[in-house]
């Protein structure tokens, strides 16, 4: 099926609990800076090991910030997971099922878990799923009670429109 990458989104929703994650990332940067300052102030140890540890902590924080979604967008023909530097377009023709996920699936699931708020987790089962090419997903928009019905409505409309065009 083709995708129309134009148009306006039907719904845009922030990723769930992104506020506390930002706090953790900021805390990692503060920890790294405090480590370097402490070693520099005491002058008992060489500075380079502290710099390596600080860069490792900072690099980890940046990596976490980059790979967690910032928002989800529902269009008439696709779901978009928007990250800080890129967007992942998931065609509705590749989605088999969308439903509420159990909170434990945010921690253990065969697929990719982008869930940052387990109480709002949603499972996306993909047609012909494959862990590397077309993985099943666990996502957590800020408000599942709004996001899930809208996505299911758009998915049903998409299937009706494209089942008659065969």
Could you tell me if 101 and 122 are in contact, meaning their C-beta atoms sit under 8 angstroms apart? yes
What is the C-alpha to C-alpha distance for residues 56 and 1, in angstroms, rounded to an integer?
A: 44
* Residue 6 confidence (pLDDT): 67
Instruction: List per-residue pLDDT tens for the chain, 166 residues long.
Output: 455 566 889 999 998 866 677 777 788 888 888 887 887 777 777 777 778 888 888 888 888 888 889 999 999 999 999 999 999 999 999 999 999 999 899 888 988 999 888 889 999 999 998 888 889 999 999 999 999 999 999 999 999 998 866 5
What does pTM read for this prediction? 0.81
List, in sequence order, every residue forming a beta bridge with 63; answer none if it has no partner.
Answer: none
Could you tell me if 114 and 68 are in contact, meaning their C-beta atoms sit under 8 angstroms apart? yes
The residue extents of the domains of the chain are 18-67, 71-163
DSSP label at residue 153: H
Tell which residue, 27, 13, 40, 56, has the closest CA to residue 143. Answer: 13
* CATH code of the domain occupying 71-163: 2.30.29.30
Could you tell me if 140 and 17 are in contact, meaning their C-beta atoms sit under 8 angstroms apart? yes
Could you tell me if 61 and 29 are in contact, meaning their C-beta atoms sit under 8 angstroms apart? yes
Cross-sheet strand order for the sheet of 137-139:
95-100, 122-126, 137-139, 112-113
DSSP label at residue 131: T
């Amino acid at each position: 099926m083709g995708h129309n990458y134009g148009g306006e989104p039907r719904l845009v929703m922030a990723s769930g609990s992104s506020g506390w994650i930002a706090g953790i990332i900021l805390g990692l940067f503060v920890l790294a800076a405090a480590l370097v300052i402490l070693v520099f102030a005491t002058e008992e140890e060489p500075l380079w090991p502290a710099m390596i540890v600080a860069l490792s902590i900072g690099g980890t924080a940046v990596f976490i910030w980059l790979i967690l979604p910032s928002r989800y967008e529902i269009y008439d023909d696709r779901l978009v997971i928007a990250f800080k530097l890129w967007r992942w377009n998931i065609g509705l023709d590749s989605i088999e099922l969308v439903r509420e996920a159990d909170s434990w699936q945010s921690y253990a699931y065969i697929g990719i878990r982008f869930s940052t708020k387990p109480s709002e987790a949603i499972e996306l089962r993909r047609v012909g799923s494959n862990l590397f090419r077309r993985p099943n997903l666990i996502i957590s928009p800020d408000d599942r009670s709004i996001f899930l019905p809208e996505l299911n409505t758009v998915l049903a409309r998409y299937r009706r429109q494209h089942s008659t065009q065969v």
